[in-house]
Amino acid sequence: MERWVPLFPISASPQADRVDHLLYFLIIVCGFFALLIFTLIIFFSVRYRRSRHPVAEPTQKSLGLELFWTAVPFMITVVMFTWGSKVYMDGETPPRGAQDIYVVGKQWMWKVQHPEGRREINELHVPEDTAIKVTLTSEDVIHSFFIPVFRMKQDVVPGEYRTLWFRANRPGTYHLFCAEYCGTNHSKMIGSVSVMRVDEYQAWLAGANDMQPEEAGAKLFVAYDCINCHGTGQQKRAPTLGGLYGTYVLLADGRRVLFDEEYIRSQLMDPGSWRVAGFEADMPLFKGQLTEEQIIDLIAYVKSLTPGALR
């Protein structure tokens, strides 16, 4: 594709190709009608100019013509809508079993955390032909995580988790941008995405002995005394957390909420709004005490806990 349209960035994922094909379709359809309309305007202006037709004549009604030019554009826009929503929905929904990577944006850098342990800044290494789900948050202001070769862009908002996913299919090193003005050095908040063959990626992961998030989370769990209430012996004060991830929790106000990353984060940052049914005390407030990376570590640890046992 990129050979005959050098204006477009190259494509490095199947989703990027799908976005491009949709865009080409839109450009061709719009271009065709723009040309058709301009040509007809000029043609009719000449043919029915005033000097040849000094007196206006009434036009005749044509039901067939009206149906034709209502039905045809309608069909074309239905095609645009269904095709566009399919591409959009597939791009928004990470496939099951996608590999997690966590990214924290801050003025003015991208901090990346791999579940296997490696951490990196302004660089993102990913394996080829593997679905990658990136979970993003910000430590300060709104940023936007943008990888043109995957045609993927996601706002990175403080206080919440956003996700984006891709399956890279072309090894190489590509641009990573911040696409939302976020202060003086916004334009320097750039980096690179390296798509590697799976074996190279495994070797790269093993190339540093950073602590795994799960392991770092286990330490924080003790250091911040979470263990005192959530330990197995204290079931009246707080739920034990093993096996809860991915299940639904009943709150004191009657809501049933999914115990997921966003939920764990909310319990740490705003426990008052998330009181769990059957427990009197709120969680202590950890707002301002934990960095976004520490929260990600804690989440990794809670995710790893198996039912019944707090390791």
User: 3-state SS of 192-228?
Assistant: EEEEECHHHHHHHHHCCCCCCHHHHHHHHHHHCCHHH
Nearer to ligand CUA, 108 or 165 (CB): 108
182 contacts ligand CUA (rule: CB under 6 A): yes
Element of type H or E holding 44: helix 14-47
Residues 78-107: x where in contact with ligand CUA by CB under 6 A, - otherwise, as a string: ---------------------------x--
Residue 41 DSSP label:
H
Distance of CA 230 to the CA centre of its chain: 32
CA dist 259 and 244 (Å) reads 7
Residue 191: CB minimum distance to ligand CUA, A: 11
Residue 4: CB minimum distance to ligand CUA, A: 33
111 contacts ligand CUA (rule: CB under 6 A): no
112 contacts ligand CUA (rule: CB under 6 A): no
Residues 6+ apart with CB under 8 A from 85: none
Nearer to ligand CUA, 104 or 298 (CB): 104
Nearer to ligand CUA, 101 or 109 (CB): 109
Q: Which of 143, 151, 230, 303 binds ligand CUA (CB under 6 A)?
A: 143
Element of type H or E holding 174: strand 172-178
Length, in residues, of the chain:
311
Range in contact with ligand CUA (rule: CB under 6 A) among 51-59, 120-128, 175-183, 267-275: 175-183
Residue 96: CB minimum distance to ligand CUA, A: 31
- Binding residue count for ligand CUA, defined by CB under 6 A: 9
186 contacts ligand CUA (rule: CB under 6 A): yes
Q: Which of 104, 112, 147, 178 binds ligand CUA (CB under 6 A)?
A: 178
The DSSP result for 69-81, as a single string, is HHHHHHHHHHHHH
Nearer to ligand CUA, 105 or 127 (CB): 105
Q: Are 143 and 182 in contact (CB under 8 A)?
A: yes
Kindly list the residues in this chain that would bind ligand CUA in the complex (CB under 6 A).
105, 108, 143, 178, 180-182, 186, 189
